[in-house]
Chains A and B, each alone.
Chain A
Amino acid sequence: MSNNNASNNLIIAQRAVKQLRLEASIRRIKVSQAAAELKNFCLQNASKDPLLVGVPSSDNPFRPPKSCSLF
């Protein structure tokens, strides 16, 4: 019984090390480049972001334009 537990723990540890080796080996770009690209994406798409720039009621599907009826 204890042999099984020991060999299970060994397999788990081997897998964990294998995974860490994989994660350690990836190529990383500089934060300055990553940050610049996130910033540029936000700025380039800002005008197309209704929650950011607001939506005029005439273009807002959730807000029917108010109509005024005079009798």
Chain B
Amino acid sequence: MGEMEELRKEAESLKDQITAARKTVQDTTLQEAAAGITAVGRVQLKTRKTLRGHLAKIYAMHWGADSTLCVSASQDGKLIVWDSITTNKVNAIPLKSSWVMTCAYAPSGNLVACGGLDNMCSIYNLKGKDGNVKVMRELAAHTGYLSCCRFLSDTEIITSSGDCTCVLWDIETGTEKTIFAGHLGDCMSLAVSPDFKFFISGACDFTAKLWDIREAQCRQTFSGHESDINAIGFFPNGNAVITGSDDATCKLYDLRADQELNTYQDSSIMCGVTSLAPSVSGRLLLAGYDDFNVNIWDTLKSERVGVLAGHDNRVSCIGVSSDGMACCTGSWDSFLKIWN
């Protein structure tokens, strides 16, 4: 009994130490540092393409590395690989389980992955010999739904789950290489750092965690949100993390200062953030909300600089292509839209 009480006291003391250490380096704010730079001005993007074909809500999308192909997942039980420029469907992959919540495109372009309420991550080979797209592996070990997955390469993928853990898998053997445990709530989203050494996870315990992939360790934990974190992404230089939450705000946390630097919120926005993506310079943050809109924020000045209104239902997913040329939104209205 005595030891539990001691541990509890030590935990509280360490939390206070962290708070104090963060305050010590807080010699200014990001908004103050950005006060002198020119405002972005109104950002008006137009829908250039509408990708039609899914028959039910779209839950996830992910751009391929070539900035042309993208994959989407819908609860109509299909993964569709699209050529976003011609709007042609390159592949339409029927899924064993229609309760899909996430999808991912491997950087090589050879594989796509998806998963959801089946608790599994299924890997599909797009470049099979006979031209047919087949399941290559089913990664099964999570005891909760698969909320997100991201490839490190054709041989490794990271998944996040409603079982509160994230896992690094060896795709060839279909086994778990590393289990990242520590979140106290369902893991909802993950993102891999530009150098592939770290990943971040956002969870229903209202925190975001930075994980060292090879050391298998949680390095930092970021709090501040007042509800579930649904979306997470890296600032393009890899030194900051952006989160989106059911508390209707997005936040930017700097990794090296170990603290929150900005909150993106407006009293008129009262619904949850479902998805987010920064533009390639990091200056713009595009975030999808439950109210069917995407709000565009100036990440430095914390001002709303644009709105993308075009969907007839919740925007569930958003992604900016790697060359920065376009933003893709996916919605419960069953359509994907390409904007620039």
Contact = CB atoms under 8 A, between A and B. Distances in A.
Contacts of B257: 28-31, 33-34
A7 to B, nearest CB: 10
Interface string A37-59: 11101111110111110010000
Given A31-B259, A63-B48, A41 B236 contact: yes
Contact of B15 (A20, A30, A43, A51): A20
Given A35-B28, A51-B45, A51-B326, 16 more contacts: A10-B4, A13-B11, A17-B14, A29-B25, A31-B28, A31-B254, A33-B256, A35-B30, A39-B37, A42-B282, A49-B283, A49-B284, A49-B324, A50-B280, A51-B320, A51-B327
Contacts, number: 171
A32 B22 CA distance: 13
B4 A9 contact: yes
A50 B324 contact: yes
B340 interface: yes
A61 B324 CA distance: 12
Q: Which 4 A-B pairs have the closest CB atoms?
A: A35-B33, A45-B281, A49-B281, A62-B48
A38 B235 contact: yes
A70 B116 CA distance: 54
Interface in B80-112: 84-85
A16 B258 CA distance: 19
Q: How large is the interface on B (under 10, 10 to 19, 20 to 34, 35 or more residues)?
A: 35 or more
A39 B11 contact: no
A26 interface: yes
A2 interface: no
A19 interface: yes
A30 B23 CA distance: 10
Nearest to A21: B14
A36 interface: yes
A42 B325 contact: no
